[in-house]
Amino acid sequence: MSSEAMPEELKPFAHRFLMRAKMMDGIAAKNSDPGAAKVAYYCRLKAVKSAMANQSSFDISKADISAFLGDLLSEAEGARTALGISAETEAADKVSVLLHGRDGACSRCEAWRRTKSRTTGFGSSRGLTRP
pLDDT at 95: 76
pTM over 0.95: no
The answer to whether residues 45 and 76 touch, using CB atoms and an 8 Å cutoff, is yes
- What string of pLDDT tens digits covers the 131 residues of the chain? 545 588 999 999 899 999 989 999 998 899 888 888 888 998 999 999 999 999 888 888 889 999 999 999 999 999 999 988 888 887 787 777 777 655 444 555 555 555 555 554 444 444 444 44
How far is the C-alpha of 54 from the C-alpha of 1, rounded, in Å? 20
Which residue in 28, 27, 49 sits closest to 108, CA to CA? 27
pLDDT at 89: 81
pLDDT at 100: 67
pLDDT at 67: 92
Spell out the domain ranges in the chain: 3-121
pLDDT at 124: 45
pLDDT at 78: 92
pLDDT at 112: 52
